[in-house]
């Protein structure tokens, strides 16, 4: 599917069994560049291990986490941590668009095109049955793919710096998503995924 044909529009997009919000210019290019540099140098980036086929391996990206409460993500226990002011501000801006109150952010740092995120659903019980997940990109743009788990139908987005993609409705039940490896870039991308953990 050609992203340029379908996804130049801004706003809510209906999917079969899901819903997305797409705004490529949510943050201006200048502001996004400043935020990228600030977060790159100040967040406590860590390369965390996950269990794969019973073995511990390092994830192919760096991560940082902030939230009022702890969170279990891919078997990792992430402890509570206070939001830095910039992330608090972005959380509030994303919350207004989603019409929801995000209370956590998982930040991903893809150091270059070799860092990636495999196919998954963000369907942890703590997120509830129809979670809003807001995904903000800063820095290098990367291709993001969604695939319906029953029909195999795909949607693709080029997530550029300053873009906002919100996955909503039943998207986490019926669609997987991934950020594939690419040989096209050696530049870094920061992705902020704002989530609401329900207690």
Among 122, 124, 126, 156, binds Mn ion (CB under 5 A): 122
- The answer for residues whose C-beta is within 8 angstroms of residue 42's C-beta and 6 or more apart is 84
Cβ pair 39, 56 in contact under 8 A: no
Closest approach of Mn ion to the CB of residue 14, in Å: 20
Taking the complex as a whole, the smallest distance from the CB of residue 105 to ligand AKG amounts, in Å, to: 10
Please report how close the Cβ of residue 73 comes to ligand AKG at its closest, in angstroms.
Answer: 8
Number of H helices, E strands in the chain: 4, 15
| DSSP assignments along 52-78, one per residue | ETTEEEE-SSEEEEEESS-EEETTEEE
Which of 191, 194, 196, 197 forms a contact with ligand AKG (CB under 6 A)?
191
Q: Which residues, numbered 160-189, are part of the site for ligand AKG (CB under 6 A)?
A: 177, 179
Whichever of 45 and 144 has its CB closer to ligand AKG, that residue is 144
Identify which of residues 17 and 122 has a Cβ nearer to Mn ion in the complex: 122
CB of 101 vs ligand AKG, minimal distance in Å: 19
Residue 68 CB coordination number (10 Å)? 12
179 binds, among Mn ion, ligand AKG, none (CB under 5 to 8 A by kind): ligand AKG
Name which of residues 17 to 76 contact ligand AKG (CB under 6 A).
none
CB 195, CB 102: distance < 8 Å:
yes
Count residues contacting ligand AKG (CB under 6 A)? 11
Please tell me the distance from the alpha carbon of residue 107 to that of residue 102, in angstroms, as a whole number: 14
Cβ at position 30, least distance to Mn ion in Å: 28
Sign of the dihedral defined by the CA atoms of residues 125, 131, 136, 142, in that order: positive
User: What single DSSP character describes residue 53?
Assistant: T
Residues forming contacts to ligand AKG in the complex (CB under 6 A) are 106, 108, 117, 122, 135, 144, 159, 177, 179, 191, 193
Residues forming contacts to Mn ion in the complex (CB under 5 A) are 122
């Amino acid at each position: 599917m050609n992203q340029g044909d379908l996804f130049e529009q801004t706003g809510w997009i209906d999917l079969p069994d899901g819903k997305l919000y797409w705004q490529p210019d949510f943050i201006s290019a200048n502001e996004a560049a400043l935020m990228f540099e600030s977060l790159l140098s100040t967040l406590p980036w860590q390369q965390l291990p996950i269990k794969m086929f019973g073995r511990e391996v390092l994830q192919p990206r760096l991560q940082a986490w902030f939230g009022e409460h702890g969170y279990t993500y891919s078997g990792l226990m992430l402890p509570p941590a206070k939001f830095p002011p910039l992330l608090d501000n972005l959380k509030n801006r994303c919350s207004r668009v989603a019409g929801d109150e995000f209370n956590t952010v998982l930040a991903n740092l893809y150091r270059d095109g070799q860092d990636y995120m495999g196919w998954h659903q963000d369907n942890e019980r703590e997120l509830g049955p129809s979670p809003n997940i807001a995904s903000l990109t800063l820095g290098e743009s990367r291709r993001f793919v969604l695939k319906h788990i029953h029909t195999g139908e795909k949607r693709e987005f080029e997530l550029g710096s300053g873009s906002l993609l919100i996955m909503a409705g039943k998207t986490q039940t019926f669609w997987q998503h991934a950020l594939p490896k690419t040989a096209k870039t050696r530049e870094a991308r920061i992705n902020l995924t704002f989530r609401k953990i329900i207690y």
